Amino acid sequence: MNSQKLYQKAQAYLPGGVNSPVRAFRSVGGTPRFLIRGHGSHVTDADGQEYIDYVNSWGPLILGHAHLPVVRAIQQAAAAGTSFGAPNLLEIELAQRVAQAFPSMELMRFVNSGTEATMSALRLARGYTGRNRILKFDGAYHGHADALLAQAGSGLATFGLPASAGVPESVTQDTLIAPYNDLEAVATLFARLGESIAAVIVEPVAGNMGVVPPAEGFLPGLRQLTSQYGALLIFDEVITGFRLARGGAQELYGIFPDLTCLGKIVGGGLPVGAFGGRREIMELLAPLGPVYQAGTLSGNPLAMAAGMATLDALAQTPQAYSRLDELAAQLVGGWKAAAHDAGLPVTINRVGSMFTAFFTAGPVTDYASAKRSDTAVYARFFHAMLDRGIYLAPSQFEAAFLSLAHSTDDIDTTIVALQEALQSVVAAGGGTVDQGGSSQ
Ligand SMILES: Cc1ncc(COP(=O)(O)O)c(C=O)c1O
């Protein structure tokens, strides 16, 4: 059965044939590829086509697909029981590793997704402060909890809907929105409503409007304002945790939040999320306190084992983060040169092993500037790369991720594909050729 047939079959059971919207290729057109195998930096689809993978299951596979120690750890854990619904040793062992990497997480709780982590962190912030309002940034995505589906990026950004249907106005009316990197707008909101704001939730490096790094002073400013008004600062490190550094963005930028949300890498490809922070806040959680949160499969041994094996393999890989940085710099360098040669305006934002190439002259510093990207050109480019064996995110507003399984050969092959694909986009009349021939 090839992807086409599988997609038809899937649509008989699954809305749009998928279990998460962006996978349906709606913003790039064409048939989603059904992947049947992943190995290292490569994936294979149902048509037997092999690709160099830069989606990386949206971030968790920093070691690559089917990394043997991770697979073995899961098999070993499964042999002892897939779920107990009771305390188990592996929870403690993973928590120890997370606490070591994230000292600001004095206490933490494991959940099963990033969405659960952010939803629970917000409930805790509201419970701790006794306030209802939360502040998030335009184009940021923190999972699909109702209160956070207000001008969220990723999926919704791709479909351009301001908020999801089915979310009561009464739920999002307490969600304040400010442009990313606009500290003044945040300060204005705090000056007006500061006493009613429970928390600011921020992706310390945005990854769902495409990759947008924090501007100079943005994160320290959020730290200062939240402390000044008695609100909590929540770092959503679901993408950046263990991705940018072992201690995530808070290690990289030296700014420490009150609460941190993790996901993706901490589960090694299995469903794990976590939230944690200052002890006095976390002690409000049931069974210790009045803030209720629970999960049947939270802390299940397989997911804990996969997370542990991933964090241990990362710790045992010398220079893991500088190697990822070098590989990504090499790829982005080739990408910029290829775009320049093709005369296509492209702006590439990169932090460590996550980056986005926006089809716009740039700079891209927030959602509004990201949205200036030419998504029609991205769609053509996406398929030109797919046809050349390179699997990128089927949306302009997503991050690309490198893993430690990507080789310099993969990078060289990708750069050749880029040169051809960008030329083919121009030849097909796509993209406003930049007369100046410059690309940032
Ligand atoms: C920054 C961020 N927060 C939260 C989430 C939600 O995580 P999940 O899809 O595991 O529920 C995502 C998912 O991509 C994310 O990128």
Tens of pLDDT, residue by residue over 253-308, are 999 999 999 999 999 999 999 999 999 999 999 999 999 999 999 999 999 999 99
The pick from 22, 122, 136, 239 for probing ligand 1's pocket by mutation, whose C-beta has the most ligand atoms within 8 angstroms, reads 239
Task: Give the distance (Å) from ligand 1 centre to CA of residue 420.
Answer: 33
If you measure from the C-alpha of residue 60 to the centroid of ligand 1, how many angstroms do you get, rounded to a whole number? 11
Is 90 in contact with 428 (CB distance < 8 Å)?
no
Distance 28 CA to ligand 1 centre (A): 21
User: Are 147 and 21 members of one domain?
Assistant: no
Query: Residues 87, 189: one domain?
Result: yes
Q: Give the residue whose CA is nearest to atom 16 of ligand 1.
A: 239
CB environment 79-104: b (16+ within 10 A), e (fewer): eeeeeeeeebebbeebbebbeebbeb
From the CA of 116, how far away is ligand 1's center (Å)? 9
Q: What does the alpha-carbon distance between residue 46 and residue 4 come to, in Å, rounded to a whole number?
A: 9
Q: What is the four-CA torsion angle of 35, 37, 42, 48, rounded to 10 degrees?
A: -70
Q: Which of 115, 201, 211 to mutate to test the pocket of ligand 1 (most atoms within 8 A of CB)?
A: 115
Cα–Cα dist 62/225, whole Å: 34
Q: Which atom of ligand 1 is nearest to the CA of 118?
A: 4
Residue 435 lies in a domain: no
CA distance 127 to 195: 15
In this structure, are 219 and 79 located in the same domain?
A: yes
pLDDT of residue 163: 78
Q: Is residue 405 classed exposed, middle or buried when 0-12, 13-18 and 19+ CB atoms within 10 A define those classes?
A: buried
pLDDT of residue 66: 98
- 225 and 171 in a single domain? The answer is yes
Residue 408 domain flag: yes
122 falls within a domain = yes
**79, 158: one domain:** yes
Structure confidence at residue 439 (pLDDT)? 37
Looking at the structure, do residues 258 and 334 belong to the same domain, yes or no?
no
One domain for residues 195 and 304: yes
Q: Please tell me the predicted confidence (pLDDT) of residue 159.
A: 58
Q: Judge if 75 and 58 occupy the same domain.
A: no
Q: Both 297 and 339 in a single domain?
A: no
Specify the CATH number for the domain of residue 226.
Answer: 3.40.640.10
Structural domain range at position 98 = 68-316
Please indicate, yes or no, if residue 436 is contained in any of the structural domains.
Answer: no
Is the peptide bond between 287 and the residue preceding it cis, with omega within 30 degrees of 0?
yes
Confirm whether 387 is domain-assigned.
yes
User: End-to-end CA distance of the chain, in Å?
Assistant: 43
Dist CA 77 CA 372 (whole Å):
47
Kindly list the averaged pLDDT for each block of 10 residues, start to end, along the chain of length 440.
93 97 95 97 98 98 98 98 97 98 98 98 98 96 93 53 84 94 98 97 97 98 98 98 98 98 98 98 98 98 98 95 98 98 97 98 95 96 98 97 98 98 90 42
Residues with CB under 6 A from ligand 1: 58, 113-115, 118, 141-143, 203, 207-208, 236, 238-239, 263
User: SS3 string of 51-112?
Assistant: EEECCHHHCCCCCCECCHHHHHHHHHHHHCCCCCCCCCHHHHHHHHHHHHHCCCCCEEEEEC
Per residue in 131-157, is it b (16+ CB within 10 Å) or e — as a string? bebbbbbbbbbbbbbbbbbbbbbbbbb
Residue 411 — φ and ψ, nearest 5°? Answer: -65, -45
Name residue 350's beta-bridge partners. Answer: 355
Is 141 known to be catalytic?
A: yes
* 244 Rama sector, left if φ>0, alpha if ψ -120 to 50, beta otherwise: alpha
Out of 20, 141, 262, 298, mutate this one to test ligand 1's pocket (max ligand atoms within 8 Å of CB): namely 141
H helix or E strand, kind and range, residue 223: helix 218-229
Active-site pick, 45, 236, 366, 410: 236
Structure token pair of residue 274 = 């976590």
Residue that is last in its domain, among 278, 299, 316: 316
Residue 309 belongs to some domain of the structure = yes
Residue 236 appears among annotated catalytic residues? yes
| Cα(363) to centroid(ligand 1), Å | 25
Q: Which atom of ligand 1 has the smallest separation from the CA of 115?
A: 11
Measured by CA distance, the residue closest to atom 8 of ligand 1 is: 114
166 within some domain? yes
Number of domains in the chain: 2
The CATH number given to whatever domain includes residue 54 is: 3.90.1150.10
Q: Amino acid identity of 316?
A: Q
Residue ending a domain, among 289, 316, 343, is 316
Classify residue 196 by burial, with Cβ atoms within 10 Å: 0-12, 13-18, 19+.
Answer: middle
- Distance from the alpha carbon of residue 114 to the mean position of ligand 1, in angstroms: 5
Catalytic residue among 128, 141, 253, 367: 141
Same domain, 358 and 309: no
Task: Using DSSP bridges, classify how beta strands 259-262 and 273-277 pair: parallel, antiparallel or unpaired.
Answer: antiparallel
Amino acid at 155: G
CA of 117 to the centre of ligand 1 (A): 9
pLDDT value, residue 440 = 35
Residues 185 and 232 in one domain: yes
Residue 284 sits in the same domain as residue 210: yes
In a domain, 434, yes or no: no
Ligand 1 probe mutation, 56, 110, 116, 142, most atoms within 8 A of CB: 142
Q: Please say which residue of 271, 296, 316 terminates a domain.
A: 316
- Look up the pTM and report it: 0.96
Q: Which atom of ligand 1 is nearest to the CA of 143?
A: 6
Let me know if 428 is exposed, middle or buried by CB neighbors in 10 A (0-12, 13-18, 19+): exposed
Q: How far is residue 325's CA from residue 353's CA, in Å, rounded to a whole number?
A: 6
